[in-house]
Structure 1
Amino acid sequence: MAGQDPFTLFDTWFAEAREQEINDSNAMALATADAEGRPSVRMVLLKGHGPDGFVFYTNRESRKASELAENRDVALLFHWKSLRRQIRIEGTVGLATDAESDAYFATRSRDSQLGAWASDQSRALDARETFEARFEAMKARFEGGDVPRPPHWGGYRVTPRVIEFWQDRAHRLHERRVFTRTDDGWTEGTLFP
């Protein structure tokens, strides 16, 4: 597989993961850091990818959004245990367009759309009943019509500068291929396990 474009290799591995992984083959860990460099990590779902980057969606008033605004350097990690593979991505994050965010939001289930309106993601919640009441209020508010995308909800795109493909091998003799973005495209190398 030498000399491949990292996105072609990602597409191959991701297609295999979608066939093999039982749940959430598109789950990826998103690592951020605030302005002081304090790290945080959580799982998000990949909703689009290509040579321009890797896209996920969230509440833009959440803790992660605040950290993304303070420090654009991020890392992603896909771990597919059943395939004994992982992909590490390091890069910078930017906003997806409103058109992209609107298009994706329209594909979500109605309850997920309503939940985006009802949730003050990452803020303190006094009781589960408060959230459930807000969800019911959103159901009533949008009854009989489409649910528009909330203005505080949208996508982010991670533009990679490094992509590493890790394959488990017997006796911890793993295979690690790393692609690094340059002005002329991508360079490829290997790393000791």
Structure 2
Amino acid sequence: MSTPSWLNAGQLVLASNNKGKVAEFETLFQQLNLPVEIIPQGRLNIEDAVEDGLSFVENAIIKARHAAKISGKPALADDSGICVPILGGAPGIYSARYAGEHGNDAANNQKLLEDLQAFRQEGQAIEGMFVCVLALVEHAEDPLPKIFQGIWTGEILDAVRGENGFGYDPLFWLPELGKSSAELSKAEKNQISHRGQAMQLFRQSLTQI
């Protein structure tokens, strides 16, 4: 296979203004050691896209196309969130604005706790999963976006626990580790998280070139 044009371009725009996501991606890309400069869209004064899709895949593609159109460069976008089956998959694509204000982690966590109160039964865990979809477009009208998906399963705690991470990490319990996501180091989280899984698939796609 030939080298993809986004690698030849020398630059790839990361379509996110979320500081937590950007920090995780910068670490993950350092581990990939790619011959390409990763540019968070904020450095190019690109505002967030209007996420009006109905799925993680749709929103990831919307964000990637938005960044590619404004920058004129290839773009990689992440759409991610937490899904709780007992709530019909909510918060889902609305995870970042679940409580109304975009990016208010404390309020979002509190709303999730409140919404789950009626379902809690002693001795029974409430399942949840973090979902990450990455969309890579070579240009704004790329007819074949590359999609990479990671799913991280766990349980939803009844109170926040841990100081690391961001978003719903303090409520995401990993029974096999005996820790919440917010109690993991960055390195530990990146190895097993939904975003880490998606990035591993992204990495594997490059080894097939």
Q: TM-score, normalised by structure 2?
A: 0.28
From the two aligned structures, give the one with the greater strand fraction: 1
Please, what TM-score do these two structures have when normalized by structure 1?
A: 0.30
Greater relative CO (CA pairs within 8 A, separation 6+): 1
- Structure number, greater radius of gyration: 1
